[in-house]
Amino acid sequence: DTAVSQTPKYLVTQMGNDKSIKCEQNLGHDTMYWYKQDSKKFLKIMFSYNNKELIINETVPNRFSPKSPDKAHLNLHINSLELGDSAVYFCASSQDFGTGVYNEQFFGPGTRLTVL
Amino acid sequence: RKEVEQDPGPFNVPEGATVAFNCTYSNSASQSFFWYRQDCRKEPKLLMSVYSSGNEDGRFTAQLNRASQYISLLIRDSKLSDSATYLCVVGGGGSSNTGKLIFGQGTTLQVKP
């Protein structure tokens, strides 16, 4: 059973389109995250939610909008896609928020987004 | 200056070698430290947390030097399966602990037969 799952795994789309990526975790965790890993391999936090409440909202374009319908799901909607949005997007979850050594973050397999 | 800096490598070593990776971080108020491992085209996975007193897990030893803001990972008796990118990760350091982790660029290790 996959602990953190994302769909789709690959997404190829044209500039200007709107797309969504879905994430689900079955670990019973309260906190979920979205990360972006660019071509230089830097992994950067975009958003986090704790029990459906927004906790972290990094400086990302407002074309990116996360939605958490319940604590097991965190989706990412992207409007008006741009070439620079091409990256791998990882969802993650942890028991709660906080960076204690007890609070391991578990990552999904990633969604490879290519904008043409 | 990057918040977490690592030498990207690659480090090419023979099987059985001992290899060390280093990492520096800029925020002296950081509170938690980790090494994650990322295989090619896969997700990152926690390798080990790093404690102030240093800690060991089998062939892996992690050290933290808060005064120098420096973290290290030592791998002894390298195996082919150790080939991966090792990400230095630092957390906390803000006025509220929101769970924000800062990832280094990663150091790539290639173990050769």
Chain A partners of B43 at a C-beta cutoff of 8 Å? 90, 107-110
Query: In this complex, which of A41, A55, A107 lies closest to B99 when CB atoms are compared?
Result: A55
Identify the band that residue B80 occupies on the pLDDT scale cut at 50, 70 and 90: very high
> Looking at the complex, does the CB of residue A75 fall below 8 Å from at least one CB of chain B?
no
**Cα(B103)–Cα(B86) distance, rounded to whole angstroms?**
10
Under 8 Å between Cβ of A41 and A87: no
CB atoms A45 and B44 under 8 Å? no
Residues B7-56: tens digit of each pLDDT: 988 999 999 999 999 999 999 988 889 999 999 999 999 999 998 888 99
CB atoms A31 and B99 under 8 Å? yes
Q: State the pLDDT at residue B95.
A: 55
Q: State the pLDDT at residue A99.
A: 67
**Cα(B43)–Cα(A106) distance, rounded to whole angstroms?**
9
Q: Which of A9, A99, A105 best tests the B interface by mutation, with the highest count of B CBs <10 A?
A: A99
**Residue % of chain B over a pLDDT of 70:** 94
Name residues of chain A where pLDDT drops below 70: 1-2, 99, 101
**Cα(B55)–Cα(B63) distance, rounded to whole angstroms?**
7
Q: State the pLDDT at residue B96.
A: 57
